[in-house]
């Protein structure tokens, strides 16, 4: 049950998040809403409120984004993170729950999504702002390891996307490489007005590309988008993102490889149309921090590598201010960024393993 005093405020913020998601806002309007979300979560998220207390931060004195403390992403492994719920709230069996991948016996991150409709709408807005209507796509998803478990946020998102394509040619592939190749061949030989999105975990795409004798037919289809989601997941040697993209370009004959940046703890995504440069989505912003001092933030024009902090307005019901274990760099002056790798000794998992 939600706290009665939080219900009205949450509904107002939810409507604003949906509006800003659909409109790709300017920075001032994003900042204003992010500050309002911070005040809401600082008041009604018990864990985040306690974290702020131990840092000596008084929420009513925070007036800019750079004053907001970011919660370590590891909290998602050890705590139930919810905003606007009764103290000691626990999810029921029907609560949509995303979990990160991990080795046997390892505690994984869990993200409880109490408002799937909000997540669905934002994911769709983010993708369609970048690539156009999902109804214009056939989506072929090569996601081994993700499909082998039932709580992957990536699989959930792609499943929603596939449903929205309305295409009976869309679908998931596990290790059935031959079927994937033949479906791509059919779509290439019988082209229609729809684009083809081939989205796959990195090791899966490489395994398929290297085990298939001839994929040169793909180079003739100008409507094909190849997108990697990152991650070798211990299946292959880690490679530089540039090396991965070059291998895929060589095998597939495509001019560029797209990328998706996301993770269990974030409900927004960012996409790259090539060269590993990610464009922040309508509900997401990146703030880089000093590698040695997590409370020191880099200015927006800083050129050195820093730790990636994420402001994710889609995390309305958990925490929108996350200190990740990824390393990144700013690119240009419009909020674009590169993902460089991960801090030493951080978990090897998910959609952000590639290093440059």
DSSP symbols for 137-178: EEEEEE-TTTTTSS--HHHHHHHHHHHHHT-TT-EEESS-HH
- Region 301-328: mean pLDDT is 96
How far is CA 274 from each of CA 92, 226, 249, rounded to the nearest angstrom? 41, 10, 11
CA distance 169 to 139: 8
Q: For residue range 117-145, list pLDDT tens digits in order.
A: 999 999 999 999 999 999 999 999 999 87
Query: Confidence class of residue 48 from pLDDT cuts 50, 70 and 90?
Result: very high
Contact yes or no for 154/146 (Cβ under 8 A): yes
Query: Confidence class of residue 345 from pLDDT cuts 50, 70 and 90?
Result: low
Query: Confidence class of residue 238 from pLDDT cuts 50, 70 and 90?
Result: low
**What beta strand segments (E) does the chain contain?**
71-72, 96-99, 110-113, 137-142, 171-173, 195-200, 224-228, 258-261, 270-272, 278-279, 284-289, 306-312, 321-331, 336-342
CA distance 161 to 181: 21
How far is CA 103 from each of CA 51, 145, 264, 347, rounded to the nearest angstrom? 28, 12, 16, 10
What is the chain's mean pLDDT, rounded? 90
Residues shown for the chain: 356
> Above 60 in pLDDT, residue 346?
no
- Region 301-324: mean pLDDT is 96
The model scores a pTM over 0.85: yes
Q: How many CB atoms lie within 10 A of CB 174?
A: 16
Query: Confidence class of residue 221 from pLDDT cuts 50, 70 and 90?
Result: confident
Query: Confidence class of residue 343 from pLDDT cuts 50, 70 and 90?
Result: confident
Min mean pLDDT across 28-42, 153-167, 208-222, 323-337 is at: 208-222
């Amino acid at each position: 049950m939600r706290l009665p005093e939080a219900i009205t405020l949450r509904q107002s913020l939810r409507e604003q998040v949906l509006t800003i998601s659909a409109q790709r806002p300017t920075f001032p309007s994003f900042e204003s809403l992010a500050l309002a979300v911070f005040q809401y979560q600082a008041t009604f998220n018990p864990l985040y409120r306690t974290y702020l207390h131990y840092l000596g931060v008084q929420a009513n004195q925070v007036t800019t984004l750079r004053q907001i403390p970011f919660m370590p992403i590891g909290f998602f492994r050890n705590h139930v993170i919810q905003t606007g719920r009764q103290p000691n709230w626990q999810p029921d069996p029907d609560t949509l729950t995303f979990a990160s991948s991990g080795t046997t016996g390892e505690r994984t991150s869990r993200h409880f999504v109490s408002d799937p409709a909000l997540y669905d709408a934002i994911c769709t807005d983010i993708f369609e702002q970048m690539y156009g209507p999902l109804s214009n796509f056939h989506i072929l998803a090569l996601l081994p390891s993700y499909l082998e478990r039932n709580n992957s946020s990536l699989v959930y998102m792609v499943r929603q996307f596939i449903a929205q394509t309305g295409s009976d040619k869309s679908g998931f592939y596990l290790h059935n490489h031959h079927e994937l190749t033949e479906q791509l061949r059919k779509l290439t030989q019988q082209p229609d007005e729809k684009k083809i999105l081939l989205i796959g975990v990195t090791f899966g795409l490489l395994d398929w590309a290297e085990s298939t004798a001839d994929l040169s037919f793909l180079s003739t289809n100008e409507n094909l988008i190849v997108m990697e989601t990152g991650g070798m997941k211990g299946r292959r040697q880690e490679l530089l993102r540039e090396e991965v993209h070059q291998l895929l370009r060589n095998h597939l004959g495509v001019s560029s490889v797209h990328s998706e940046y996301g993770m269990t703890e974030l409900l927004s995504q960012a996409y790259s149309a090539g060269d590993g440069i990610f464009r922040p989505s309508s509900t997401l912003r990146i703030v880089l921090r000093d590698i040695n001092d997590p409370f020191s933030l880099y200015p927006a024009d800083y050129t050195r590598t820093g730790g990636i902090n994420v402001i994710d307005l889609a995390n309305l019901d958990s925490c929108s201010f996350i200190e990740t274990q990824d390393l990144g760099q700013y690119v240009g002056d419009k909020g674009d960024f590169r993902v460089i790798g991960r801090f030493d000794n951080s978990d090897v998992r998910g959609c952000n393993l590639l290093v440059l």
